[in-house]
Structure 1
Amino acid sequence: MTGFPRYAIYFAAGSDSALCRFGAELLGYDAYTGDELPFPQQALHVATDWREVSADPRKYGFHATLKAPMALSPGKTEADLKAACAAFAAEARPHPVISPIVDSISGFIAVIPAAPVDALPQLAADCVREFDPFRAALTAEDRARRKPEKLSERQRDYLDRWGYPYVMEEFRFHMTLTGRLDAERRGPILQMLRERFAALKLDALTVDRIALFKQDNAKARFRIIGEWALAR
């Protein structure tokens, strides 16, 4: 099994932003502070088991994956990874701007782009490549947990090459709010989340930063230990 701690490079909305508060309140967890938060009454009214509904994304904090969780390869340190994050952020690159909406994706509900934005998968691919030297190789157990028999051939290739199947052409930007839901449950929850999101009046979201998340052990939640604004 992969060792700990684990690290991930994510996009996370700024700690003082309405989007950050929106996600943290719904997940009941603030990845910036490590604090547990009370769930909104609106969510509990629609789903009395909201703690279970939001359990999976709560573990990771409100984010969009750019480089999936990884243990560090031999010889690499947390300080090395932070330095690499700073160097990556210092390289001038386009800042993707999306029109965010709340919708269902693969059975769970997330904040996603209303339409494709070319610079977004490019940013994610750059993260996958640049930070891969820090990634410890997958163990056989870790690979089996990804259920490679259920992946496409390309996804299996990406799993073996990059340690994660949903990269490059398979990448889909999403900031997850729930675990997987069957269609019957999904409708009322999706409506509630759309109503809460509409109140933010967030017509455009600029992906202009990266954050380094850390998980100390298998029972711990991920926390933000560093963030860097991307140079234009």
Structure 2
Amino acid sequence: MTQLEKMRWVLFYVFIVLFVLIVGSTVWVIFFSSNGWNSQDKAFITKIFVGEVGLSVIALFYGLFNLKNVQNQEAFSRMSTEIQIAASDTFYVKTHPRSQHPKFFSEVEELIPKSKNITLIAVGLNLLWEKHIVDLLIRRAQEGACNVTVCMGNTASPHVEDRFIEEEMEWNRPQVGRSGVDRNIRALVERLQASGNPRNFKFVLFEHYPTFATLMFDDDLFIYPYGYQSLGNTSPIFHVRNDGGDQANFFLENARKIVSDSIPASDLISVRKNRKFRSDDWILAAVYIIPSQDSRIYQFGSSVLGYDIYRAQAIPASQDLTFARECVGESAEYGFHATLADALYFSSEQQIERVRAEVRFLSQEFKPFHLDGLEPAVSPHDGRAAIIRAQDSSGTVESIHHELVSRVYRLAVSSTYLTGQTTKALPGDGQRAQMMLERYGSPFILENFMLHFTVCGSCPEEATSGIVDGVRQKMGGILRERVFVDQIVLVTKRPGQSRWTIEESFPLCGPRWP
């Protein structure tokens, strides 16, 4: 009951009470009072009384029926408003209590045969547990009647792995989990290959932390959230429709970005089957320390290598450095630098953007520092390489390197070491080296990491010591200088490029640096 209705009833009851008092007072005055009314006066007062009663009864009935009528009008108005709202809400359709509900699966089976564009985005995508649904999707794609995009979680991504870890934290352990999703990815890749890889069927893997699944059948969208420590198949699933509004466009654009930023599932499976697999479309990226362009050590090192990475220009050989230039090898492609993160392969520009964001955030955690103790030497990792070793007493290089191993190495699809796209020597069959290669793509990381600048990477082993002596002599007083490091640099080598170039430099501006 509304406040207005309550007020009307209060006024009604007040009227009844006053009416009873007036009637009672009139009757008492006419018939029981001792004021000496004569019969003519009583007759006149009685007529007035009867008229008052009649008017009161009319007023009472009008009030009752009018109140009821007002209630009916308000009820009708509310119902009309609800109907109008329902008619105007073309976005929301209904909700299923869980994403694995039989009614939802039945609805999907009805939508697939008549949909022309289907996009399915979820970590494990429980729809694909049903063989007849997979068969139907592939057949529709083969016939050219439907464009199908399946986007699942890359189980090798540390961000997707976070989701699997959360699901393992509660007593309700997942029945499928990471290993089950791995099996489903591999099975679908093999199934598509057996079906001739229909060009209308796109299978990719996302690498971000998932927040909700999106299943789209033309204009019918199904959304279910990934609750904290809750399995996705226990979440309610919301059926909405693309009505062209802002709400629908939000989910459509989100799905487009996820698919755009995902990697081909076939690449992941190919790498797992053959560690030397490499796609010509992949992009190389690394993170370096590159001394200031004006520093004497950078000018010397760039002159030896014959490449200025800041300007992306070749440097003509000088007469006094000819002895070293002949032994530079592939080092000339990289430019003068000290490695923080090795040359890693990424499958898309979106992955490069992710690396860029990781390095930017990391640069904000450290302040500038100095390198000293410069000393030419034969590399302990490769007897053919002449290097300049350096020391960092602040521990910054070690910290940044460890952070990059955690943040960036596992985002990569492969590395130059794994694919054999480097002339650098690899260690033997040691267990540690194999473990580091398999998991991170490089054997020279963590406790085997060594801060150094490479100047000659392809020396005849018997001549390396002599070249090191020559480098030491040519450097002279540079060896006593300190190298100021106030930035870390993301470098890339894209398909078709012969040399590495600077993608972006990130100033070290940690919390204790103004």
What TM-score bracket applies, with the shorter chain setting the length?
Answer: 0.7 to 0.9
Could you state the TM-score of these two structures normalised by the residue count of structure 1?
Answer: 0.83
On the 8 A contact 1:73/1:133 being kept in 2, the answer is: no
Could you state the TM-score of these two structures normalised by the residue count of structure 2?
Answer: 0.40
Shift of 1:223: 1.1
1:188 — aligned with what? 466
The structure 1 residue matched to 2:296, chosen from 18, 38, 53, is 18
On the 8 A contact 1:74/1:136 being kept in 2, the answer is: no
Matches within 5 A, 1:104-119: 104-105=378-379, 106-107=382-383, 108-113=385-390, 118-119=395-396
Matches within 5 A, 1:59-98: 59-73=333-347, 76-92=350-366, 95=369, 97-98=371-372
1:161 — aligned with what? 439
The structure with more radius of gyration? 2
C-alpha distance in 2 between matches for 1:162 and 1:179: 23
On the 8 A contact 2:488/2:507 being kept in 1, the answer is: yes
Deviates more, 1:151-160 or 1:107-116: 107-116
Deviates more, 1:169-178 or 1:13-22: 13-22
Matches within 5 A, 1:162-177: 162-177=440-455
Deviates more, 1:162-171 or 1:209-218: 209-218
2:475 corresponds to 1:197: yes
* Shift in CA distance, 203/8, structure 1 to aligned 2, threshold 3 Å: same
Shift of 1:29: 0.5
2:401 — aligned with what? 124
Shift of 1:57: 0.8
Q: Deviations over 1:149-201 (max 9, x none)?
A: 82421111111111111100110111100024345422432222112222325
1:100 — aligned with what? 374
2:225 — aligned with what? none
Larger RCO (alpha carbons 8 Å, 6+ apart): 1
2:411 — aligned with what? 134
* Shift in CA distance, 34/151, structure 1 to aligned 2, threshold 3 Å: farther
Shift of 1:5: 2.0
On the 8 A contact 2:331/2:455 being kept in 1, the answer is: yes
On the 8 A contact 2:377/2:388 being kept in 1, the answer is: yes
* Shift in CA distance, 217/151, structure 1 to aligned 2, threshold 3 Å: farther
Shift of 1:113: 2.3
C-alpha distance in 1 between matches for 2:485 and 2:429: 28
In structure 1, give the amino acid aligned to 2:341: K
Secondary structure of the corresponding residue to residue 200 of structure 1: helix
C-alpha distance in 2 between matches for 1:114 and 1:133: 27
On the 8 A contact 2:304/2:455 being kept in 1, the answer is: yes
On the 8 A contact 1:148/1:156 being kept in 2, the answer is: no
C-alpha distance in 2 between matches for 1:24 and 1:14: 12
On the 8 A contact 2:302/2:308 being kept in 1, the answer is: yes
* Shift in CA distance, 71/11, structure 1 to aligned 2, threshold 3 Å: same
C-alpha distance in 2 between matches for 1:183 and 1:43: 19
Secondary structure of the corresponding residue to residue 444 of structure 2: coil
Secondary structure of the corresponding residue to residue 199 of structure 1: helix
C-alpha distance in 2 between matches for 1:149 and 1:186: 19
2:273 — aligned with what? none
Shift of 1:22: 1.1
Deviates more, 1:157-166 or 1:196-205: 196-205
C-alpha distance in 1 between matches for 2:371 and 2:427: 35
In structure 2, give the amino acid aligned to 1:110: I
C-alpha distance in 2 between matches for 1:115 and 1:82: 24
On the 8 A contact 2:345/2:415 being kept in 1, the answer is: no
On the 8 A contact 1:42/1:192 being kept in 2, the answer is: no
What is the RMSD of the two structures over their aligned residues, measured on CA atoms? 3.0
The structure 2 residue matched to 1:28, chosen from 306, 323, 328, is 306
Unaligned runs of 5+ in 2: 1-277
On the 8 A contact 2:304/2:325 being kept in 1, the answer is: no
Shift of 1:59: 1.4
Percent identity, please. Answer: 21
Secondary structure of the corresponding residue to residue 489 of structure 2: strand
C-alpha distance in 2 between matches for 1:30 and 1:144: 22
C-alpha distance in 1 between matches for 2:358 and 2:350: 11
2:230 corresponds to 1:230: no
* Shift in CA distance, 118/24, structure 1 to aligned 2, threshold 3 Å: same
In structure 1, give the amino acid aligned to 2:434: R
Secondary structure of the corresponding residue to residue 386 of structure 2: strand
